[in-house]
Amino acid sequence: MALEPGQLLQERYRIVALLGEGGMGAVYRAWDTRLNVAVALKEMRPQPGLDQATLAGLRDQFRQEATILARLNHPNLVRVTDFFEEGSNAYLVMDFVLGESLADKLLREGAQSEAQVVAWGRQLLDALAYCHAEGIIHRDIKPQNVIIHATGKAVLVDFGLVKLWNPNDPRTQTIMRGMGTPEYAPPEQYDTHSSHTDARSDLYSLGATLYHALTGQAPATATQRMAMPGAFKTPRAINGQISPSLEAIISRAMELQLDRRFPTAAAMTDALVSQRVAQPFPATIPAAVSPVYQPVSTPPPAPGVSGHSPLSVGNNSAAAMPGGRDAPPKKRLSPWVWIIGGLGVLILGASVVCGALFLIRGSGFFASPTEMPTATAVTRVNPTPLPELQTPTSRAPSPTVAPTEPELTTVPSAGAFQLTVANYSDYDVCYVQISASDSDSWGEDWLGEEDLIYSGDSRVFDVPAGTYDVKLSDCDDVVLATAWKISQDTTLDVGGMGLVSLHLINDSSDEICYVYISSTTADSWGDDWLGESESIDSGGGQRVFFFTPGTYDLLTQDCEGNDLVSEFEVDFQSDLDWTISD
């Protein structure tokens, strides 16, 4: 019997809606009342009429699946957080990934661009390389089991056919038996003994999934290909826009013979990386664009021209606002205003952090894009002292007017947590500074002197219990991302697939406290992209912002809300520099 909305399990998980169901169970969207986050609840609902021994075996397999998957920790894998039994059923609790399945996306949009498919392929291969290193084979990779987040990140879900695998031991253990879906299953997976599948079996399924994404059509099944070799159409026979090099990669991944495929996920990744692909076509820009502070996605392909081009469009002055556009609200007051006013006391404003720069909510299966998922990465490092660190960006005094941007909501910390830094930009992250929110300095660099987070890499930091602010900078101390008042598992991303960057350099004598980046078609400036607690120092302070390509108006203000420099109708189709001078 299906669970009803409002029903409470384990005095913790409140059912919100049924997301989908099949012969062996169902998946629900639920609300974790203890942590105040959305979760996906997978219910094992055996078919009626099974004997007690079979039921017990299925329950043991389901429990073992939870145990295995709970140890996986990767940004492109759905995370299992809990397992319990209630009544006659067993349940897995997973992150709720916002987005839609790749199958639904292909049904709606058809074939995807080559660059987009390569980006997803690299993400999924990284996840598979991690799984295979942990001795786990997915065995059911298909478009229905790939969720595309609203920001473009691909997440692999549904390990219902997961298989334990030891490359040094021919004996393997299938946790949930099944052959997968015919169009995406390799021929060896039809073996009822299941002893011939290994990591290369997942590569076949991924190749078939990428084939479908590139062509808009599912490939012929392995049995059809063996019985009628002519039934298999090459990708370019369906879509002539596919490059020969990518077709060769897909074809090798989908070889019927195991030993003719790529030997590892890393080998297939190397093949994808070595080929040149076109840039993805930019997404449509909505009428009013909110800042994309922390997108989670795949690194975009390298730009055709290295470096940044200077910003040379519009009037480089504090020009009058376009007609119908209101001036942004003032949110900071300089302490000197109070001194000049005769108060005679220097007001030391503590930073009030609303943290609109980053909001992480637990997330899982199919839903509208309204919140960001919790994600994790692979490598962990402990903080090491940096011999000499440049002066960090100063923290702005407390604002006197409430901000317009949404307030950061976090779960009160019950202990230590993890901070994941994922770098999807063309910059290298040199400095990761994690400082107690009530501290007036940024402290030491947690990466250490010799370590970097290169483009396409990620890193996990174990942070003691408490509330912290975070700043990420490149090797020239250019600020790339910040987060404020975090106290739970959080992912902080630099850049994102298909995004462009604005590198703002403040060579003026004024501290910049407000930066507005607003779509030219919008009738208001929108949110301040620096937020309440960040500013850009005068005399050389630098900050990078990432957002979707389009045409924007730009405005900077000092800490009293006075206009400094504005630019109008700037066409952002590539990365740009913007220098603010007196």
Q: What is the pLDDT of residue 382?
A: 34
Q: Does the pLDDT value for residue 472 go beyond 90? A: yes
Q: What is the pLDDT of residue 23?
A: 60
- Tell me the range of 329-333, 347-351, 394-398, 448-452 where mean pLDDT is highest: 448-452
Per-residue model confidence as pLDDT tens digits over 33-60:
999 888 999 888 766 677 788 778 777 8
Higher pLDDT, 174 or 203: 203
Helix (H) or strand (E) holding 107: helix 102-109
Q: What is the pLDDT of residue 521?
A: 86
CA distance 235 to 207: 11
CATH architecture of 8-95: 2-Layer Sandwich (3.30)
Mean pLDDT of 85-96: 88
The token duo for 242 is: 């596919």
- Look up residue 246 and give its amino acid: L
Per-residue model confidence as pLDDT tens digits over 112-160:
999 999 999 999 999 999 999 988 888 889 999 999 987 789 999 876 5
Higher pLDDT, 416 or 159: 416
Kindly give, in sequence order, each residue whose CB lies less than 8 Å from that of residue 391, ignoring residues fewer than 6 positions away.
none
Q: What is the pLDDT of residue 24?
A: 66
What's the CATH code, domain 100-274?
1.10.510.10
Phi, psi of 456 (to 5 degrees): 90, -5
Per-residue model confidence as pLDDT tens digits over 175-208:
333 445 789 999 988 765 545 678 999 999 999 9
* 155 within 8 A of 144, measured Cβ to Cβ: no
Percent above pLDDT 90 for the chain: 41
Q: Which residues are catalytic?
A: 140
DSSP 311: P
* Closest-CA residue to 569 (of 325, 292, 404, 279): 325
Domain boundaries, the chain: 8-95, 100-274
The token duo for 548 is: 């979707």
